[in-house]
A = this chain, B = another copy of it.
Amino acid sequence: MVEGYKSVVEFVNAAYQVDAIYHTSEIAPKMMNLSRKINFQEISLTDLEKISSLKTPQDVIGLIKIPKWPRLNYNLLKNKFSLVLDGVQDPGNMGTIIRTADWFGITDIICSDDTVDVYNPKVVQATMGSLARVNVHYGDLMTIIPEIKLPLFGAMLDGENIYNTNFGREGLLAMGNEGNGLRPEIQQLINKTVTIPRIGYAESLNVAIATAILCSEIKRNSFK
């Protein structure tokens, strides 16, 4: 379920299979321009509010078919950076990480099986349409990471200063659960532990914030 005109358009443009689009009468002309092949359903605002998962519903809700992802082809991860999420739980964080990944041109995110479901409506909402462009894979990280054969960077509180780290041209960046960080067994697989140095006093950074700062550091060399 995708809510809001802009987000629905992202999925339509990315050629996802659209089962139906429910919309109010006000936005009907705009919807019709989108495509002729879609099953549009004009409904009342009252009905739309009943379906919506948002406190302030938008005027369009799309029902998008969840794609059957092919098995992750590890060769496609070479020469670039991908994210590894180990038990991220908060839907807002997950969605924001996907949106940030999309901004920085990161196309693949590999999640432990206990990471929040990427199709949770709150996750979808927080991605602001970026879910249409970022591939999110789930699986057993202990099996997958060694098979990928790329350097694994892990964000921890006692690693190398990120501002001095040479991230190179390819790799995986692992981010842990909001409360507990990376699991010990994942930590064992890390090739380089990195840390965002602290100047002030906050005990930690939000995981989506830390991911974004690291993505920026990893990508900044492409702009120099």
Give A contacts to B, CB under 8 Å: 6, 92, 96, 99-107, 126, 128-130, 133, 161, 163-164, 196-206, 208-209, 212-213, 216-217, 219-220, 222-224
CA distance A105 to B199 in the complex (A): 5
Q: Which residues of B contact A208 (CB under 8 A)?
A: 206, 208-209
CA distance A133 to B219 in the complex (A): 32
CA distance A187 to B6 in the complex (A): 26
- The answer to whether residues A99 and B206 also contact, given A104-B200, A212-B212, A213-B212 and a CB cut-off of 8 A, is yes
- Contact, CB under 8 Å: A220 / B106: no
Query: How many copies of the polypeptide does the oligomer hold?
Result: 2
- Contact, CB under 8 Å: A200 / B106: yes
CA distance A133 to B199 in the complex (A): 13
- Contact, CB under 8 Å: B198 / A103: yes
Q: How far is the CB of A199 from chain B (nearest CB, A)?
A: 3
Q: How far is the CB of A11 from chain B (nearest CB, A)?
A: 13
Starting from the known contacts A199-B219, A206-B208, 10 additional A-B residue pairs (CB-CB under 8 Å) come to: A99-B206, A100-B205, A100-B209, A103-B200, A103-B205, A128-B204, A163-B223, A196-B216, A212-B213, A216-B217
Cross-chain pairs A/B with CB under 8 angstroms, 21 sampled: A99-B205, A100-B205, A100-B206, A101-B200, A102-B201, A103-B196, A103-B198, A103-B200, A103-B201, A103-B205, A104-B200, A105-B198, A128-B203, A133-B200, A133-B201, A161-B223, A163-B220, A208-B209, A209-B212, A212-B213, A213-B216
Chain B residue nearest in CB terms to A198: B103
Interface centre among A129, A133, A219 (most CB of B within 10 A): A219
Chain B residue nearest in CB terms to A220: B163
Q: How far is the CB of A217 from chain B (nearest CB, A)?
A: 7
